[in-house]
Amino acid sequence: MGFLEWATSPWGQSVPIHIAWFLIWVAVIAGFLFFLGHATYLRYFAKPREFAGSISPAVAARIPDRVPRHSLAARLFHWIMAASMFVLLFTAFLPKVGVQFNWVTYHWIAGTVLTASILFHIIHASFFLDFWAIWPDRIDVRDAWRRMVRAAGKPEPPPDRFAKYPLENKLYHGAIIAAGLSAIITGVFMMSRVRTVFFPRNPYLFSDMTWGMMYVLHGLAGVGLIALIMVHIYFGLRPEKRPITKSMIFGWMSRDFYLEEHDPNRWVVATPSSSSSPPSTSSPSSSPSASRGLEGRGLTDAG
């Protein structure tokens, strides 16, 4: 049983034609195993979360009750992308597991919506949002190391609070970019093989081998997205992550959650009295007592 399906082209060349469809189930099972592993780790093994330093009362006092996190445009993008992604996954894979329906038209229309929304997102994030906020920085890497060492029971200073996005968010975003762009770019080319309103059909745009690799990459990205989206939904539903999920609906998160999780120096929230200089935290002590107040809230290093 191979991971790819091969065929012999009219010229006698052995070419890949698509992924083996059992990989759909591999992705689904991998997603469920991740849920199990992560939930088990959090429930039985994870240590209480600790952060370095504490936020001074003066800084805390300047944080509004509702901390704006996602603009309306960003939220609309997210949900349009989510809807189109679901349509894409269901139309792609349901027929492969025995649910037969006319899927191709819905699939390329959803793909077009996704492509348009991604283009919007790239422009919006590049010119109207803090472009670098979603990319890992040196502090993220340092803190990831600290968290791993501490999780192993060895001494290491506690990590800083997060910037706007935790490292896990940033890594997930990177994985979605890789899988999503792979699916979109190959999908745009594949649209030249079906009848759409966009291109004249040209199935001979590439050689059989190149087409085969394109279908394989599209399929791998697709099954990868199954697992990634399962993981995304899992985190969106976890109790300790719900404030983040709610912020994607309402646009804001609570002051308490912000102060627990985020570093006002790394994610500067515009307030009426401090629009120019970032707020300061008190001594960046690594003392566990610095964030004692967070213990008992179910927040852990693994979140």
Q: Where in the chain does DSSP place strands (E)?
A: 4-8, 14-19, 66-68, 252-254
| Element at 39 (helix H, strand E) | helix 22-40
Secondary structure class of 47 (helix, strand, coil): coil
Nearer to other proteins, 52 or 216 (CB): 216
Tell me: does residue 18 bind other proteins (CB under 8 A): yes
CB of 104 to other proteins, least distance (A): 6
Strand partners for 254: 66
Nearer to other proteins, 35 or 206 (CB): 206
CB of 170 to other proteins, least distance (A): 35
CB of 201 to other proteins, least distance (A): 7
Nearer to other proteins, 95 or 278 (CB): 95
**What burial letters (b/e) apply to 274-287, b meaning 16+ CB within 10 Å?**
eeeeebebeeeebe
Tell me: does residue 12 bind other proteins (CB under 8 A): yes
Tell me: does residue 158 bind other proteins (CB under 8 A): no
Stretch of 10-18, 179-187, 266-274, 281-289 lying at the interface with other proteins (CB under 8 A): 10-18
Nearer to other proteins, 159 or 187 (CB): 187
Tell me: does residue 193 bind other proteins (CB under 8 A): yes
**Residue 229 corresponds to which amino acid?**
I
Nearer to other proteins, 47 or 201 (CB): 201
Inter-helix orientation angle 242-250/72-93, to 10°:
110
User: d(Cα 251, Cα 71) in Å, to the nearest integer?
Assistant: 6
Q: Tell me the CA end-to-end span of the chain in Å, nearest whole number.
A: 37
Nearer to other proteins, 158 or 212 (CB): 212
Tell me: does residue 195 bind other proteins (CB under 8 A): yes
Upper half-sphere CA count for residue 167 (Cβ side, 13 Å): 19
Tell me: does residue 17 bind other proteins (CB under 8 A): yes
Whether 114 and 191 have beta carbons less than 8 Å apart is answered as: no
Of residues 136, 132, 125, the one with CA closest to residue 162: 136
Tell me: does residue 204 bind other proteins (CB under 8 A): yes
Geometric angle at alpha carbon 181, from 249 and 26, rounded to 5° = 85
Nearer to other proteins, 41 or 204 (CB): 204
Tell me: does residue 2 bind other proteins (CB under 8 A): no
User: d(Cα 128, Cα 15) in Å, to the nearest integer?
Assistant: 45
Tell me: does residue 283 bind other proteins (CB under 8 A): no
Q: Using CB under 8 A, which of 166, 187, 212, 279 touches other proteins?
A: 212
Q: Which of residues 77-116 bind other proteins (CB under 8 A)?
A: 95, 100-104
CB of 219 to other proteins, least distance (A): 10
The binding site for other proteins (CB under 8 A) comprises: 5, 7-10, 12, 15, 17-18, 95, 100-104, 193-195, 201, 203-204, 208, 211-212, 215
